[in-house]
Structure 1
Amino acid sequence: MKTQRRNALLLTVSTAAVAAGLAGVPTTQAQAATTLKWRPCVQEKGPSGQECAELTVPVDYRQPDGERTTLAVSRIRSERPEARRGTLLVVPGGPGGSGVQRLTDKGKALAKELKGAYDLVALDPRGVRGSARAGCGLAPEDRDLVNLRPWPGRNGDISGNVARARRIADACSRNGGPLVGSMTTANEVQDIEQFRQALGEEKISAWGVSYGTYVAAQYAQKYQEHTDRVVLDSSGDPDPSRVARGWAANMSQAMEDRFPDFARWAAAPEQKELRLAQRPEDVRPMFLALAERLDRQPKPTAEQDPDGRRKPGKVRLDGNRLRQALQQTLYGNDFTPLAELIRDARDPRRTPVLPPYLARPLPDEDAAVTVATICNDVRWPRSVRSYARDVAADRARYPLTAGMPVGVFPCAFWKNDAAGKPVRLTPDGPSNVLMIQNLRDPSTPYFGALKMREALGQRARLVTVDGGGHGVYLGNGNACGDRAVTGYLVDGKRPDADAYCPAP
């Protein structure tokens, strides 16, 4: 599974934050004096001509001459200089997604679609993949995705979540150091500005996806004079008082909106041995009953190596792993792996095979950057009693997510007295933003995107796509949506008013 999608699951959705409130810190040309030394780094199945370099930036922008850290950056130069109009930054999701990897994965499609209009560039945010890394020293159990996310225990018990959240917060405070403390959206915005200066570009365009929409929108707010064309693909509610806490909470309704697409597929006669119910309306009670049964009686599992050989799994399939598998699957449109898992969980003669993201813990550095970013950005509530109350209400209203989206993240106990207020997005500024959004996104729901649209006012236009899944442009096969984004990036053609793309 791609790193970006895996980390987006923690939210979408991450010690003292040294720069959560640095929106007003000026950036000078002298601070961005890094010379980028490009080298070839073409990857298998990646675009030809891809180059990589390293960018050094201050750990703390309030101390530009102090400790520095290194970011991995990459580019694919336009093969048609006569058609080139600028530079497009690919902003990954997460927090914790790799921009370099996303550029590798999408570079060929982007280059073909944009026909040489841009040099394509990306960076790995602090602590991600090729950039300088830092961890919290978390135990493997605490890096298990199903534990890192606050899935409640049986009957909604959150005592295990509380204990784990305290351990993670304590470990990151004790072991994370300045780099983990510097992992914030505000610093990523500053790092992008350093990258723009190092590239020697007066303006830069951006395509942000998922959490990357928030980063790109924050950059466009702070550095309006250096922002060209901006595409926000799958946006969340930018409410500066909640940020990631709001994104997580919104996933409860988002999953309810998306589930009927899976139910229709799973009840279709053409699924044959993977048909899970006779009617779409029967899929939901079947899934909920199975999850509850697995809560009581987890089932042994198997793992499969790259050569197809199976071995006994180290973890059992319980209800929360099944619920996590549902969320992961609904990000895309291939429902077969989930149907196979459900079939094998229901059949006493079969042993379910878990995908790697459910069978193995995240690397310590990946867990650290994802947790640190969401916790450093803004203060979270501290009251355990309020979390228990919210979980009980949420799991009753949205049983598919069982109360997890409003549960106790490590942020509730984060050692962060310096968290500031994120930059509030406003309608003031150039009208150069195009938003695109699926109607049934299980992570960044449509109603949250409407909040982003409202915040930006006349600066933005919204293209609504009648589709499901997370991520639209060059991702879900909707030609109307792809044309809208490509037309804006290449020719500056943006709808005069918000637009709609029907299902294919």
Structure 2
Amino acid sequence: MTTYRKISQTGLLLALSAAAVAGSLTVGGTGVARADEGGGVAWRACAQAGGPEGQECGELEVPLDYRKPGGKQVTLAVSRVRSERPEARRGVLLMIPGGPGGSGVQALARKGKALQAEMDGAYDIVSFDPRGVGGSTTASCGLDADDRYMASLRSWPGADGGIGANVDRSRRMAEACEENGGAVLRSFTSANEVRDIERFRQALGEEKLSAWGSSYGTYIGAVYAQKYPNRTDRWVLDSSGDPDHTRVEQGWMANTSRAMEDRFPDFAAWAADPARDAEGDGLRLGEHAHDVRELYLELAARLDREPKESTTEGNPLTGGMLRQAFLNGLYSDASFPQLARLVRAAQDPAATPVLSPDLAQPLRDEDVTVMVAVICNDVRWSTSVSGYARATKADRARYPLTAGMPQNVLPCAFWKSDPVEKPTRITDEGPSNVLMIQSLRDPSTPYFGALKMREALGDRARLVSVDQGGHGMYLGNGNACGNSKVTTFLKTGERPERDVYCAS
């Protein structure tokens, strides 16, 4: 499970995004609310500094339980930026946030201006906070602060590979969610997010939607296109995971091991480049890339045994925290210097490591709640603690960079309620109007998983493969070639006749 930069690409028990950090923010509104061509949504001005001019926000009520459409409602925070050239407008482009836990309202504030420039008035650009996120109706599990740190939410095994502490935390979190979450928490599912998008389309009065889904948002976009194929216009899936309907989030989590192995060499080559010496910043970590890898593994193991005091009192740098910093930082090459500085500070007996905000502070209870709930509500997880222990041990040996975490236990193993419906199977049935874009070395949604999405969609899709590392390609970590393919498709409908490759 965003995918837009800021700590935060999207939720992140799954490495699909640390999007929940951004999801905790809301866009403040000013101005007079008005109902107009937005299908009864009362829009108000909510532009932010650095964001697109004219951004508006509103609320949309949707059923808590779609089996009881006339029953209790929950509220979605929705947002839009209208086309600045009405004569050029051809429809609505929906930004589908990553996560689970990413805020679409904030994504629009961050990316809306760049997207406006690319689209040149072709669309009203809209997005929303999924239920449980930001300004939408939320729930709370009442989790202890110690259980809400990112490096705790990820089940990093103990120094000896043991998972006892992970089991205890997972059981504790599941019990708290059962006691405090209620019906609202149980409604946090991918299937309901797809239904909520369809209600949003209806409220906007649009016959069809175009979309740009990123990270976890690609899965939501793919399910929407499967459920409502005749409501899709031009559909972009940016950084896709394996859509295997029998595993869903379990598969995404497990794939992180190999994804890190694919991506880490980019950092290692950068950190071993003699150019680091020429720059005089002390960030060259080894003579060769394999030296950097060994340094990282040895340092993480030492920090497992002996955590080092950080600048955040009471929150030392642990091996799991170092690994988590790399999982987050490898989303973009721009984070390489920060990662190298963290390694240097961890090595230096006289230095005190500085923790990034996503590691230094616990996440909001509401943000953790929606991440955990979607993951656990979507599909049934194994309840075998011994099975998790065996899988963690094997994964730890095969993929040492992630130390067994991707196969470790989560609160889903102790979840009290079964999924209310089966996940959707993605197929090649539907219009041929999907364009995928994907990094060859994505640390979160690896290329081999995206190929599974491509295979499932068949002739419905074309794939743009970008020869570089990182997560989130369009208007983010991508390049001119990849950006132009997506922009041309969204503006003109012109799509490559076959899958294409973009060099770095």
TM-score range, shorter chain: over 0.9
Q: Give deviations 1:47-80, integer Å, cap 9, x for gaps.
A: 1000000000110011111111111000000001
2:9 maps to which residue? Answer: 5
Distance 1:455 1:155 in 2: 40
1:302 pairs with 2:303: no
1:238 maps to which residue? Answer: 243
Distance 1:155 1:350 in 2: 27
Assess if the C-alpha contact under 8 Å between 1:438 and 1:470 holds in 2.
yes
1:171 pairs with 2:180: no
Assess if the C-alpha contact under 8 Å between 2:388 and 2:407 holds in 1.
yes
**TM-aligned CA deviation for residue 2 of structure 1:** 3.3
Distance 1:8 1:480 in 2: 29
Unaligned runs of 5+ in 2: 19-37
Matched letter for residue 363 of structure 2: L
Distance 2:398 2:70 in 1: 52
Distance 1:9 1:434 in 2: 27
Distance 2:97 2:256 in 1: 19
Any idea what SS the aligned residue of 2:257 has? helix
Match of 1:147 among 142, 148, 152: 152
1:80 maps to which residue? Answer: 85
Distance 1:2 1:127 in 2: 20
1:128 pairs with 2:137: no
1:327 maps to which residue? Answer: 327
Distance 1:177 1:66 in 2: 16
Assess if the C-alpha contact under 8 Å between 1:3 and 1:98 holds in 2.
no
Any idea what SS the aligned residue of 1:274 has? coil
Matched letter for residue 350 of structure 1: A
1:255 maps to which residue? Answer: 260
2:23 maps to which residue? Answer: none
Matched letter for residue 437 of structure 1: Q
Distance 1:355 1:271 in 2: 22
Aligned-pair identity (%): 63
Q: Give deviations 1:215-269, integer Å, cap 9, x for gaps.
A: 0110011011111110000000000010000000001000000001000110112
Match of 2:290 among 259, 281, 289: 281
Distance 2:323 2:8 in 1: 20
Q: Give deviations 1:111-130, integer Å, cap 9, x for gaps.
A: 00111110000010001011
Any idea what SS the aligned residue of 2:200 has? helix
Distance 2:10 2:346 in 1: 23
Distance 1:132 1:302 in 2: 35
1:64-79 equivalences in 2 (<5 Å): 64-79=69-84
Number of corresponding residues: 476
Assess if the C-alpha contact under 8 Å between 2:42 and 2:59 holds in 1.
yes
Distance 1:177 1:344 in 2: 44
**TM-aligned CA deviation for residue 484 of structure 1:** 0.4
**TM-aligned CA deviation for residue 421 of structure 1:** 1.2
**TM-aligned CA deviation for residue 178 of structure 1:** 1.1
Distance 2:10 2:423 in 1: 25
| Change over 3 Å in CA distance of 1:6–1:62 after alignment to 2 | closer
**TM-aligned CA deviation for residue 132 of structure 1:** 1.5
Matched letter for residue 337 of structure 1: Q
**TM-aligned CA deviation for residue 418 of structure 1:** 3.8
1:43 maps to which residue? Answer: 48
1:398 maps to which residue? Answer: 399
Assess if the C-alpha contact under 8 Å between 1:220 and 1:227 holds in 2.
yes
Any idea what SS the aligned residue of 2:135 has? coil
2:24 maps to which residue? Answer: none
Matched letter for residue 290 of structure 2: E
1:308 maps to which residue? Answer: none
2:468 maps to which residue? Answer: 467
After TM superposition, the score normalised by the length of structure 2 is: 0.93
Any idea what SS the aligned residue of 1:74 has? strand
2:487 maps to which residue? Answer: 486
After TM superposition, the score normalised by the length of structure 1 is: 0.93
Assess if the C-alpha contact under 8 Å between 1:234 and 1:438 holds in 2.
yes
Unaligned runs of 5+ in 1: 15-32, 304-312
Greater relative contact order structure (CA < 8 Å, 6+ sep): 1
Matched letter for residue 284 of structure 2: R
Q: Give deviations 1:314-342, integer Å, cap 9, x for gaps.
A: 21111110111111110111201111110
Any idea what SS the aligned residue of 2:107 has? helix
Distance 1:410 1:9 in 2: 11
Q: Give deviations 1:167-205, integer Å, cap 9, x for gaps.
A: 111110110011111000000000000000000000001
Distance 1:445 1:349 in 2: 38
| Change over 3 Å in CA distance of 1:6–1:455 after alignment to 2 | closer
1:98 pairs with 2:103: yes
